Amino acid sequence: MNAYIAGLIVPLVILLFRNSNNRKRRGLPADVGGEPGFTVRNHRVTSPLTSLWEDVTTLAELFELTCRKNHDRLLLGTRELISREMESSSDGRKFEKLHLGEYQWVTYGKVFESVCSFASGLVKIGHVREERVAIYADTREEWFIALQACFRRNVTVVTIYASLGEEALCHSLNETEVTTVICGRKELKSLVNIAGQLDSVKRVICVDDDVPSDAASAQHGWTITSFSDVERLGRENPVEADLPLSADVAVIMYTSGSTGLPKGVMMTHGNILATVSAVVKIVPELGTKDVYLAYLPMAHILELIAENLFAAVGGCIGYGTPLTLTDTSNKVKKGTKGDATALMPTVLVAVPAILDRVRDGVFKKVNAKGGLSKALFDLAYARRMQAINGSWFGAWGLEKALWNLLVFKKVQAILGGRIRFILCGGAPLSGDSQRFINICLGAPIGQAYGLTETCAGGTFSDFDDTSVGRVGPPKPSTYVKLIDWPEGGYSTTDSPMPRGEIVIGGPSVTLGYFKNEEKTRESYKVDERGMRWFYTGDVGRFHADGCLEIIDRKKDIVKLQHGEYVSLGKVEAVLLGSPFVDNIMLHADSFQSYCVGLVAVSHPALDEWASKQGIAYSDLSELCSKEETVKEVHASLVKEAKKGRLEKFEIPAKLKLLSDPWTPETGLVTAALKIKRDIIRKTFQEELSKLYAK
Ligand SMILES: *[C@@H]1O[C@H](CO)[C@@H](O)[C@H](O)[C@H]1NC(C)=O
Ligand SMILES: *[C@@H]1O[C@H](CO)[C@@H](O)[C@H](O)[C@H]1NC(C)=O
Ligand SMILES: *[C@@H]1O[C@H](CO)[C@@H](O)[C@H](O)[C@H]1NC(C)=O
């Protein structure tokens, strides 16, 4: 009898214990070389993973293997364009709307044939393998095929954002001496604009068949061939593959830098393969049943990893665009389907800004409906929130099924109704949005932290970890080390958690910046055991279970929610030009889309303005709190910003005016009158959070 009860109780106690504490160790301490620090590895591996597939060391081998294994399965899908229509809105503006049909699929076997043909076609049109190819186009089927084709010829691919400015485009193509550019009709226009400055480009391959006639003229110094012609030429003149080695550079990825011109990050086949392997190991049961909706720019490391990943596991990749994602997206013709409902994907990769948009859209709709359906939604949301906050086990079960059926099914339908996992990266995701996804989509969300320089290697949260604000343990392909940063006041001996600058090591860490040894030496180091480390400049702390939380940034450069970088010092220097500003601190928060400013006002200038306006006030702090004063100072900052050619997102959207000057005695500035950012931030914490309150 006792044994019987014990048999019942022990598992129950274990269940409750796990339930309430969620104490699973996700990251474990690791013994590594290099600079001393606090290092953690993923609990699934004892040393960093380089490849999950036996005898596969390059992406070219991986792709050939998966095409052989999944020969008759569907790989790439693109929607048929039924029509383009112009619709006018009520105020007379015209918008292009697309009527898109069903997905048209191509099998692994057929894609492999296209890849081989395109690879041969490159040779036929005169591209030799030592030269580089640039792909400068929107995410689409041809992008993927061209990429794999270059890999088979050991040709390095230079990736460039389709939205990049002409100066940056010219710089990237010049620096890498690209001879063949693969682009769309739209991108071809930018190319023509800078044709005079491009000495190295000899060939352009246009992925759209209708090449504009002015682009083809010989005066630009290049020949134009359509994508399908290159494929045909290759089919008629096949050549053998010329496979790369693991250490050969697969991609030079130009990232929109925080300052100045973009930098090209050199990634080897081994780097990308390591990250792909790591993600396959973490995300549960990735495989042939998975359908992936591809719509992020391929020139972004997340998307490059994701597409190679889904191809590797035998999944399907369906292409879409951010403007046609859902039934109500801007470019979707009324009454027709968006990409998500047409494809019904199982996995989605998103940046936080997109998830925020989905969340706001749903809440707006619910509020507009009001009444009983809002009450039901609120109740369901609150119940699920309690369950998820409380425990992992509570996250599943009968009640969840009930609420899903009654309330959340409609929300899930927006993304096709089959999402089982969301991978989020690129910037930090707010707790609110994470909970929204957990609750309304019923899907776990994996938050990733990584950089282009580490080939997206970094950390990745486990699917069963429902805590917010953390980015998980190191990926199986990386070590994550914290090192002391005394100037910032962070140390690995801090209690209750070790803190410090985040340094990432392992096979995902890239070779460095192309033709920029100085910058490479600044941020990359190889230790005595031969391991490469990248110094991120981000500051983090490790929780007891081995999960990382990002808490600060070493440099004064902050990435806003939509991915724009704000260089605080640069902007402050410009805004100091305003006569009303005695001193200013710009504050940017990665969870927000705008920055705010604290201004120590110039007493005389403000005084003069007030008396001219006939504004009466008893003391300066009263004047500072008046709405009209804030408005006037803001207008003056905007004027300076325009003079200094600042971007709109760099201008503080809201201000707090402070009447007391910042002097070395107050501790807010150094003896040299440089602002002490961290101290000011702490001192005016309350004011700052008020500026962000809606
Ligand atoms: C691949 O190409 C690079 C650059 O042209 C070259 O250095 C390398 O040796 C090539 N790899 C192989 C296996 O031929
Ligand atoms: C690219 O190279 C050409 C020729 O060498 C030069 O005229 C042009 O200014 C360069 N452009 C950039 C952005 O470096
Ligand atoms: C659940 O957690 C979220 C995020 O940490 C928090 O905002 C919310 O207030 C919590 N709700 C409940 C019911 O505990």
**Hey, whose CA ends up nearest to atom 10 of ligand 1?**
244
Q: What is the mean pLDDT of residues 25-42?
A: 96
- More confidently predicted of 618 and 527: 527
Q: Which residues is 95 bridged to in the sheet?
A: 87
**Ligand closest to the CA atom of residue 466:** 3
User: Ligand 3: residues within 6 Å at CB?
Assistant: 385-386, 389, 431, 435, 468
pLDDT of 623: 93
What is the whole-number distance in angstroms between the Cα of residue 455 and the centre of ligand 2? 29
What atom of ligand 1 comes closest to residue 244's alpha carbon? 13
What atom of ligand 2 comes closest to residue 171's alpha carbon? 13
Is residue 28 within a helix (H) or strand (E), and if so which, with residue range?
strand 27-29
**Ligand closest to the CA atom of residue 178:** 2
Look at residue 507 and give its three-state secondary structure: coil
- The token duo for 466 is 């429902």
Residue 199 Cβ < 6 Å to ligand 2: yes
What is the whole-number distance in angstroms between the Cα of residue 390 and the centre of ligand 3? 9
Class of domain 59-285+295-312: alpha beta
What is the whole-number distance in angstroms between the Cα of residue 244 and the centre of ligand 1? 6
**Hey, whose CA ends up nearest to atom 10 of ligand 2?**
197
Give CATH superfamily name and number for 560-693: ANL, C-terminal domain (3.30.300.30)
Residue 170 Cβ < 6 Å to ligand 2: yes
Using one digit for the tens of pLDDT, what is the confidence trace for 385-444? Answer: 888 776 544 455 677 777 887 788 888 998 999 999 999 987 778 788 888 888 888 888
**Hey, whose CA ends up nearest to atom 12 of ligand 2?**
171
Residues 6+ apart with CB under 8 A from 572: 584, 585, 586, 675
pLDDT of 670: 65
User: For residue 468, which of 354, 380, 306, 591 has the smallest C-alpha distance?
Assistant: 591
What atom of ligand 3 comes closest to residue 468's alpha carbon? 5
What is the whole-number distance in angstroms between the Cα of residue 221 and the centre of ligand 2? 15
pLDDT of 218: 67
Using one digit for the tens of pLDDT, what is the confidence trace for 303-345? Answer: 999 999 999 999 999 999 988 998 888 899 989 999 999 999 9
User: Ligand 1: residues within 6 Å at CB?
Assistant: 129-130, 154, 244-245, 248
Predicted confidence (pLDDT) at residue 198 exceeds the cutoff of 70: yes
Q: CA 193, CA 562: separation in Å to the nearest integer?
A: 28
Identify the architecture of domain 2-48+478-554 in CATH.
Answer: Roll (2.30)
Q: Where are the domains of the chain?
A: 2-48+478-554, 59-285+295-312, 346-414+419-449, 560-693
What atom of ligand 3 comes closest to residue 390's alpha carbon? 14
CA contacts within 13 A on the Cβ side of 583: 18
User: For residue 523, which of 505, 536, 510 has the smallest C-alpha distance?
Assistant: 536
pTM of the model: 0.80
pLDDT of 172: 94
What is the whole-number distance in angstroms between the Cα of residue 38 and the centre of ligand 2? 45
